[in-house]
């Protein structure tokens, strides 16, 4: 019984263990970038997601290829709001700028 109690006190929640792993091996930034790309459609909705033809992150800059000129212009005008929305959804600052291709 004593060893089971000792083991429980040393237990780390899985979320904390994953965070520590990502931080230790300097993978947190890449994980967040991948999360952003994978969940772009959920973050922006189906209309924007269907018009996004290319998306990638390099050096904290999000690059987007949008096939609709009016939508691209609208997103450009709302760039600050877009950055805030993305970083809030990811849970930390992932991108500092957006470039429309």
Question: Per the structure block, which two tokens stand in for 43?
Answer: 């973050």
What 8-state DSSP symbol labels residue 93? Answer: -
The helix-helix angle for 28-38 and 14-24 (nearest 10°) equals 110
Per-residue pLDDT of the chain (101 residues; tens, 9 = 90+): 555 555 566 788 888 888 888 778 778 888 899 999 999 999 999 999 999 999 999 999 999 999 999 999 999 999 999 999 999 999 889 999 999 99
Q: Which fold has domain 27-100?
A: Alpha-Beta Plaits (3.30.70)
Phi, psi of 75 (to 5 degrees): -65, -40
Any idea where the domains of the chain sit in the sequence? 27-100
Nearest to 71 by CA among 61, 82, 60: 82
Question: Per the structure block, which two tokens stand in for 100?
Answer: 């429309």
């Amino acid at each position: 019984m004593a060893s089971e109690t000792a083991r429980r006190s040393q237990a780390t929640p899985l979320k904390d263990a994953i965070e520590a792993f990502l931080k230790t091996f300097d993978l947190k930034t890449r994980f967040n970038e991948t999360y952003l790309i994978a969940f772009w459609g959920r973050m922006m909705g189906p209309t924007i997601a269907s018009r996004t033809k290319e998306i990638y992150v390099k050096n904290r800059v999000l690059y987007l290829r949008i096939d609709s000129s009016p939508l691209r212009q609208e997103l450009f005008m709302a760039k600050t709001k877009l950055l805030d929305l993305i970083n809030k959804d990811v849970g930390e600052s992932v991108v500092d700028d957006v470039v429309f291709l």
